[in-house]
Structure 1
Amino acid sequence: MKLHILQHVDFEGPGYITQWAQTQGAELTITKFYEENHSLPELGTFDLLVVMGGPMSVNDSAFTPWMQQEMAFIKQCLAANIPILGICLGAQLIAGVLGAKVTAATNKEIGWYTVKNGSPSDKWPWHYFNGAPVVFHWHGEQFEIPQGAEGKLVSDANGNQGFLYGNNVLGLQFHLEATANSVDDLLHHAADDLTQHSYVQQPDDIRSQTEANVQKSNAILHQILDRLITL
């Protein structure tokens, strides 16, 4: 099994996804758009695509050649029915490719907060969130639910937190891949985002919440990835 990752900045890497790939014996390759000589794989050479987060905006794509290239690649993967997981910016990119708007979030959301179903569900993938798990957020924008997709997840701060397109394209606004190290990387490189706000936790709170919640969050991601590779 081959997993390919689209990574936008060096401080928002695969996190727990690397560990999951190791448990699966999967080959993991990465396109690093922040490197000058990046390249994209041929369709048919990988079984699952994961699109990571980043501080840039989908709304800047018209002025960002590499992002135009990336969105064209995502469109090709959708047409080829390749399973895709989009995380934060990654979910927004998929939404944009599908014609949905990406706008400023109702509230900037940084730290560990619950997500929940609009209504309890036993359907994939929403059943993983019936218990309103505490997950890691770091975003100031949000996607509209694309036409033809199903969206059920919400948080107290913002409405749309996840969508499923078809049966094998999942966009999540939050970071189930977060680890203690990846959270520290964000705190170091994106410290300017930590303005005073109702839904912005400060570093000490974030670190203590990471210790309390990261394993459960990673366990949900593990199950999601296990399922995606079967679809």
Structure 2
Amino acid sequence: MKQIAIVRFSPIEGPGTFADFVAAQGGETHLIAIDQGAPLPRDPEQYDGWCLMGGPMSVNDPLPWIEPLLVLLRRAIAVGVPVIGHCLGGQLLAKALGAKVTRNPTKEIGWGEVWVTDPTMGARWLGARERFVAFHWHGETFAIPEGATGWLASAHCARQAFAIGPHLALQCHVEMTEEMIHRWCADWAKEGVGASASVQTPEAIVAAIPDHLPQLTETAMRLYREWWRGVSDVRA
């Protein structure tokens, strides 16, 4: 049975459909709740894969767990243990690989289309699909690390994903469940912004759930299946 570590940074930003996917593969998830002060293991090979979730903080904040986590991610990458990062998690993976994380030109909140910018990577991770409607909730963005390939973009953020070997970083959220969307929308006012071209109101976000969430979940499963191929190769 494959063992997957899930690193959580906020109690409302859990693994969502990623945990469902792992269970469907017969794997087992192990939650490391940074938001509750859980310690990080030193050996990344304790698990067959690492999944990093989102969070409201910045990877550039002076938080005591960031540098130890970056060290752990570098070790995982060095020994070939697959890592997948969602939003903040993707930014942490980028920083671990030496890339900068900076403020995005605008906050991006709500539903928004992303499209493939690198056909080879797109075919690997999404098959024939060239675009999909993703869920967004971020104000920062990563640069593409040396040796990695950026392969997704949106109208408001040019770097929505990169991949390097078995590792995948996503700026957008594909792991969403309806419950998570409602919970995040309850905190919408904390973002301190009004509705705009890149920021949707909670009412608009919730109203669009039936139109977009089923397809987003289908897309997430396709991405996760490709990532799982790397997991299957770990100590196979």
- Provide the TM-score with structure 2 as the length reference: 0.90
Written as runs of structure 1 = structure 2, the 5 A alignment for 1:99-114 is 99-114=98-113
1:51 corresponding residue in structure 2: 52
2:233 corresponding residue in structure 1: none
2:24 corresponding residue in structure 1: 23
Instruction: Percent identity, please.
Output: 31
8 Å CA contact 2:8–2:33 kept in 1: the answer is yes
Pairwise CA distance, 1:194:
5.8
Structure 1 CA distance for aligned equivalents of residues 158 and 59 of structure 2: 19
Pairwise CA distance, 1:187:
1.5
1:178 corresponding residue in structure 2: 176
SS at match of 2:174: coil
> Aligned residues, how many?
227
Structure 2 CA distance for aligned equivalents of residues 193 and 226 of structure 1: 33
Written as runs of structure 1 = structure 2, the 5 A alignment for 1:61-140 is 63-118=62-117, 120-121=119-120, 123-125=123-125, 127=127, 129-130=129-130, 132-140=131-139
Structure 2 CA distance for aligned equivalents of residues 31 and 42 of structure 1: 14
1:150 corresponding residue in structure 2: 149
Aligned-residue CA RMSD in angstroms? 1.7
Pairwise CA distance, 1:120:
4.1
The CA deviation string for residues 83-123 of structure 1, in whole angstroms up to 9 with x for no partner, is: 11111000100111111111110221000000001254463
Structure 1 CA distance for aligned equivalents of residues 82 and 128 of structure 2: 18
Counterpart residue type for residue 117 of structure 1: V
2:9 corresponding residue in structure 1: 8
The CA deviation string for residues 46-85 of structure 1, in whole angstroms up to 9 with x for no partner, is: 212111110111111xx21111121111111111111111
Pairwise CA distance, 1:128:
6.0
SS at match of 1:228: helix
Distance 1:128 1:163, change over 3 A: farther
- Provide the TM-score with structure 1 as the length reference: 0.92
SS at match of 1:137: strand
2:234 corresponding residue in structure 1: none
SS at match of 2:13: coil
8 Å CA contact 1:151–1:162 kept in 2: the answer is yes
Q: Which moved further from structure 2: 51-60 or 213-222?
A: 213-222
SS at match of 2:75: helix
1:162 corresponding residue in structure 2: 161
SS at match of 2:229: coil
Q: Which moved further from structure 2: 8-17 or 68-77?
A: 68-77
2:204 corresponding residue in structure 1: 205
Structure 2 CA distance for aligned equivalents of residues 141 and 102 of structure 1: 7
Counterpart residue type for residue 11 of structure 1: I
8 Å CA contact 1:179–1:210 kept in 2: the answer is no
Q: Which ranges of structure 1 fall in alignment gaps of 5 or more residues?
A: none
Counterpart residue type for residue 22 of structure 2: A
